[in-house]
Structure 1
Amino acid sequence: MSFSLDYASIDHPRWKNLPPPPGFSNLPSANAKTPAKVAAAAAASYAALKEKRAWDLAISPAKSLPMQAFMLYMSGGGVQIFSMGIVLMLLLTPFKNIAGMNTAFAPFAPATSNVKSLNTLPLQKMAYLACNLLTLAVGLWKCRSMGLLPTGTGDWLAFETRGLSPEISLL
């Protein structure tokens, strides 16, 4: 038994009135964009993507704050090796991030600007700086709650001098 398909019997005008399947659009060549317009649109979308990624990098220190706060809570309030390691990490990381800020934002800088300039992506860099300072503030708060920061008057007694008492003679 043989099977054959005759394509000549298909009625083409009947199938031309069907809408295109989802996701397919049959654009006529008259409405097609010129290569210059396509290149400009691609460059604009690439610039928008770079700016979005720069904002993601800018707020990334704030995204890790809840996890770091939980680690601080779990480390306890005493001065122990694990709590000191976590606090040290929390205090040093913002300084490392701020020192390497221009290098971190270099891939997202516009092609026409200087990568090392502070005028390149200024809002993103200010947000990055603020998020790192917030992380530093959490670390300093933990140091204060552990009693490592000199906050009371008793912490400065070594630097105080006694006043001279007046000599009194009762004779």
Structure 2
Amino acid sequence: MHSEISNPDVLSPKACKKPLSLPPGFVDTASKKKVAPIGPKKQSAAQVDDLKMKKAWEIAVAPAKGIPMNLFMSYMTGNSLQIIPIMMTFSLFWNPVKAIFTETNAAFTNLWTEKNASNIILAKVAFVICQIAAMSVGLYKFYKMGLLPTAESDWLAWKAPMRIVEMCAVVVQ
């Protein structure tokens, strides 16, 4: 037995009388007939236009999907005048403005065809409306922080600033 371990009998596949079975999980591709690879099916022009319109509307409503997260983040940062809430609020305002002026045409350029031009314009309008809605989160946050000039005294030097009178009432019996 020890001699068989140290000097094993190795037979070539041709010398075996019984054919060797394939190991588990191995598929012999040489024995099977070759099948030509199937390429992607050509889509009709109507299907391509439908896919382009679906993609255009995905792009158009994408800014609205981030509004709930932006509202939660602005709620969690509070209304204190510190650098982090001010910079976050500025980005809530500035990123939609930047997207309206730089990304509106660029996002829809590859999707435009002669047949779907009017629908692409509607998707662009929806994109701008969603960006304005996202920008309104930043404007509201600026308002709550007191950084928007909303009173007469903010604009006119001779008007006295508005005083906020806090009242507290305690009922004792």
TM-score by length of 2: 0.62
1:78 to 71, 77, 80: 80
User: Which residue of the partner structure matches residue 105 of structure 2?
Assistant: 102
User: Which residue of the partner structure matches residue 55 of structure 2?
Assistant: 53
Q: Does structure 1 retain, via aligned residues, the 8 Å contact 2:63–2:134? A: yes
Q: Distance in 1 between matches of 2:50 and 2:118?
A: 18
Q: Does structure 2 retain, via aligned residues, the 8 Å contact 1:76–1:83? A: yes
SS in 2 for 1:78: coil
Alignment gaps of 5+ in structure 2: 1-17, 19-40, 160-173
More helix by share: 1
AA of the residue aligned to 1:108: L
User: Which residue of the partner structure matches residue 131 of structure 2?
Assistant: 132
Query: What does the per-residue CA deviation read over 1:119-169, in whole Å, with 9 as the maximum and x for residues that have no partner?
Result: 571110110011011111111111000000111223223166xxxxxxxxx
2:95 to 90, 93, 114: 93
Aligned CA-pair RMSD: 2.5
Cα displacement (A) at 1:75: 1.0
Displaced runs of 4 or more, over 4 A: none
Q: Distance in 1 between matches of 2:158 and 2:94?
A: 28
Alignment gaps of 5+ in structure 1: 3-37, 161-171
TM-score by length of 1: 0.63
Among all aligned residue pairs of Structure 1 and Structure 2, give the percentage whose two residues are the same amino acid: 38
Q: Distance in 2 between matches of 1:156 and 1:66?
A: 33
Q: Does structure 2 retain, via aligned residues, the 8 Å contact 1:109–1:120? A: no
Query: What does the per-residue CA deviation read over 1:39-68, in whole Å, with 9 as the maximum and x for residues that have no partner?
Result: 6x5221111011001000000000010111
